[in-house]
Structure 1
Amino acid sequence: MDTASFVEILEKEGQLLADAAQVAGPDAVVPACPGWRTRDLLRHTGVVHRWAAAFVADRHTAPRPMDPHPELDGPDLVAWYRDSHRRLVDTLAGAAPDVECFTFLPGPPSALAFWARRQAHETTVHRYDAESARGGSPAPVAVEFAVDGVDELLRGFHARPKSRVRTASPRVLRVRATDADAVWTVRLSQEPPVTVRDADGEAECELAGPAEELYLALWNRRPLPAVSGDAELAALWRDTSAVV
């Protein structure tokens, strides 16, 4: 997927997030985020949008803290979120392709591609949260985008030392999208997980399902799909894979 596609998805998903949050109201419980209500979701995601936009707009090359959450609520908070989202979309859409700034995951070919991809997935997952708080059927996640999101999570976030998914002895987990040509082999040990896009060798446990189901399950938004093999390994992933 290219940068323009990620920006287009980001724009759509942020609009859906704001619309769902507005209908849900600020006190609606966000099921997948213990202790959060819709106001917390809007405050968090809006601050992340502004934080991300600043790296690109101001070309910051070192990590920077996020701003405090605003004290806004109700319609004013929704309007603030919409403005935060608009700033991010406009910043990414107008940035030079070779802009240099801070990033924190491997994979994308440029800083702009990194931030467009990361914020598209950030916003999609939280759009699902807002729609879950609202109730009713959530918008679907396209197969190609869901596959990319699984790849970002497994080969990006969980390649970092921060990943808490560890095993005392080497273990192998496989993740398979049943509606796409996408398979990941995740090698677990006392070190951070090592993931490759292939199905080589035997795996002790396999998680298989449509790409959208895998995407939302691996981000702890839905139960894990079909599990074959060692269910304890699937449970270990579920219990320790939250991104920190």
Structure 2
Amino acid sequence: MLEAIDVHADALKRAALKAGPAAPVPNCPKWTVHDLVTHVAFVHCFAIGLAVNQPRKPAPPADWEDVLGWWDGQRLALREALGRAPETPAFSPYPGFEVTVGDWTRRMAHETAIHRLDAESALGEAPETRFSPAFANDGIDEFLTYLTPRLGKKADVRVTTPERTWTLGEPVAEVDGAADDVYRALWGRPHRAAVTGDLAPLAAP
């Protein structure tokens, strides 16, 4: 997962630089690329504080070049913070739930991967990025069994990929398809999964 953070952050930055700071982000209609990069930099910095049990509210710089440089520094610090033993207790912003360094590593891997897709959506011709079944299935599992309950949401859904099936609650919605497409569907990104019912109650932040 540490490697995944690097891979997807590098791809996100390449796309952001190519698109330019003022480019709109179709996946996130209210954002420009500048907004997207600032958000990712903020999240990475925020995760550093959580991983070392010193929560803080980051203050990214406003200028485009400055925020890029600041983010580079945060990425190095994030790798160091997440490089400790995965089972090490970390700060939990989720009442009633314990969190480890490994949990934050996994969370940042998928956060960065999804926002990579957003940065690439800002390009005139987005690359045909496809996540491996192993990574996408892990992302589906993280979304359904880790993130959703910690955000206080109730999952009544059946999710099926060629490799795995998740049945939560009393399903009122179903998602079926390749793991990559199901992963995107749960995060509200363009996809080719089959969806029946309403996924709105699961809408990701």
TM-score interval for Structure 1 and Structure 2 normalised by the shorter chain: 0.7 to 0.9
Summarize the Cα distance change of 1:161–1:18 in structure 2 as closer, same or farther, 3 Å threshold. Answer: closer
Name 2:190's counterpart in structure 1: 222
Q: Residue 241 of structure 1 aligns to which amino acid in structure 2?
A: L
Name 2:180's counterpart in structure 1: 212
Provide the secondary structure at the position in 1 that maps to 2:92.
coil
* 1:39 CA displacement: 0.5
Unpaired segments ≥5 residues, structure 2: none
Name 1:140's counterpart in structure 2: 130
* 1:19 CA displacement: 1.2
Name 2:44's counterpart in structure 1: 49
* 1:204 CA displacement: 5.8
Q: Residue 56 of structure 1 aligns to which amino acid in structure 2?
A: A
Name 1:186's counterpart in structure 2: 168
Separation (CA, whole Å) in 1 of partners of 2:29 and 2:202: 16
Name 2:19's counterpart in structure 1: 24
For 1:38-90, what per-residue CA distance to the aligned partner results, in whole angstroms no more than 9, with x for missing partners? 00111111011011112223x33xxx4532342121x3332222222222123
Of 188, 193, 202, which residue of structure 2 is paired with 1:241? 202
Name 2:117's counterpart in structure 1: 128
Of 9, 14, 22, which residue of structure 2 is paired with 1:14? 9
Provide the secondary structure at the position in 2 that maps to 1:30.
coil
Pair 1:177-2:161 in alignment: yes
Name 1:100's counterpart in structure 2: 89
Contact 1:207 1:224 in 2 (8 A): no
Provide the secondary structure at the position in 1 that maps to 2:158.
strand
* 1:147 CA displacement: 0.5
Separation (CA, whole Å) in 2 of partners of 1:45 and 1:161: 19
Number of aligned residue pairs: 203
Summarize the Cα distance change of 1:85–1:23 in structure 2 as closer, same or farther, 3 Å threshold. Answer: same
Name 2:79's counterpart in structure 1: 89
Contact 1:25 1:38 in 2 (8 A): yes
Contact 1:27 1:39 in 2 (8 A): yes
Q: Residue 66 of structure 1 aligns to which amino acid in structure 2?
A: K
Summarize the Cα distance change of 1:161–1:132 in structure 2 as closer, same or farther, 3 Å threshold. Answer: closer
For 1:152-208, what per-residue CA distance to the aligned partner results, in whole angstroms no more than 9, with x for missing partners? 111122224632x68xxxxx5311002x2x1011225xxxxxxxxxxxxxx665321
Equivalence map 1:74-85=2 (5 Å) = 75-85=65-75
Contact 1:105 1:156 in 2 (8 A): no
* 1:212 CA displacement: 0.5
Unpaired segments ≥5 residues, structure 1: 1-5, 167-171, 189-202
Normalising by the residue count of structure 2, what TM-score does the alignment of the two structures yield? 0.86
Q: Residue 176 of structure 1 aligns to which amino acid in structure 2?
A: T
Summarize the Cα distance change of 1:138–1:65 in structure 2 as closer, same or farther, 3 Å threshold. Answer: farther
Name 1:40's counterpart in structure 2: 35
Separation (CA, whole Å) in 2 of partners of 1:154 and 1:78: 32
Name 1:118's counterpart in structure 2: 107
Separation (CA, whole Å) in 2 of partners of 1:103 and 1:83: 24
The structure with the larger Rg is: 1
Normalising by the residue count of structure 1, what TM-score does the alignment of the two structures yield? 0.74
